[in-house]
Amino acid sequence: MPKTMTLARRAVLAAAVALAGLAAATMPAAAAGGSAAEAFVQANVSKGLGILNNKGASTDQKKAQFQTFILGLTDMKRIANFTLGQYKRTATPAEQDQFAQAFQGYAIAVYQSYFSKYAGQTLRVTGSQERQPGDTIVTTQLIDPNDHSGNQPLEVDFRVSGDASKFVVIDFSVAGIWLAIEERDQFSSFLGQNNGSIPTLISHLHDLAKSYH
């Protein structure tokens, strides 16, 4: 597997941790600025983790529920278009649609393959920074109750857009890597090595998705 795609997969795997913790939702206007964004993140952490930790559901049920959760949270087409970077300008509308579908299948396959590894872990909000009105970075830590190594917990950051009446997460950073930006860089590198061929990238994403089944 090309190094660029290995790194892109690593970013998606990291993002699965973040995606496990959130769902887009409407919250009461109880706070302003960063504190409202923090409340949004904290209030919604249990939604994704509840799916992972539901011992009463079968593996297939958890996979189906988690897929619905991911698709409800994420605008896959918007993210896919962003990750194409400069190559979006030369891709035909049909290629853009086909890539978006391939990207969705690839991402979900990775999430479903690895989601069980994060069961039992929790996210703890540690603070926030408002970049500008309606654009806030919320910092959290991934807490593993079985980790007694004394090492610092993994930092997972969320870029939250909107206000207290309606927030949405638009990007994730795990250990300092912002998912959408990382994927854009890695896909652009892959396309640069393959004559800018969108069909080649689409085919590769299909092959990667199949490898998780």
pLDDT tens per residue, range 157-201: 988 888 878 887 778 888 788 888 888 998 999 999 999 999 999
Percentage of residues in the chain having pLDDT higher than 90: 27
User: How many domains is the chain partitioned into structurally?
Assistant: 1
pLDDT at 13: 52
Eight-class DSSP state of 87: G
Residues 6 or more apart from 27 whose CB is under 8 A from it?
36, 39, 40, 43, 164, 165, 166, 167
Number of Cα atoms under 13 Å in the Cβ half of residue 190: 27
CA distances from 55 to 50, 65, 67, 130, 179 (A): 10, 13, 17, 38, 30
Lowest model confidence (mean pLDDT) among 81-90, 112-121, 140-149, 184-193: 112-121
- Strands 122-132 and 166-174, sheet pairing: unpaired
pLDDT at 190: 95
pLDDT at 24: 42
**CB atoms near residue 98 (< 10 Å):** 17
Eight-class DSSP state of 153: P
101 confidence band (pLDDT: 50, 70, 90): very high
Structure-model confidence comparison of residues 12 and 205, the more confident one: 205
What value does the mean pLDDT of the chain take?
79
pLDDT tens for residues 3-49? 445 545 555 555 554 554 444 444 443 344 568 989 888 877 667 77
DSSP letter string over 8-52? Answer: HHHHHHHHHHHHTT---B---S---HHHHHHHHHHHHHHHHHHHH
**CB atoms near residue 111 (< 10 Å):** 21
Q: How far is CA 53 from the centre of its chain?
A: 19
The pTM score is 0.71
Q: Which structure tokens are listed for 130?
A: 């408002």
Q: Longest C-alpha distance within the chain, in Å? A: 52
- Here the CATH number for the domain that contains residue 189 is 3.10.450.710
Handedness of CA 90, 170, 157, 65 (dihedral sign): negative
Range of the domain at 74: 3-210
Q: Return contacts of 199-203, CB within 8 angstroms, 24+ apart.
A: 199/95, 199/98, 201/99, 201/102, 202/95, 202/98, 202/99, 202/102
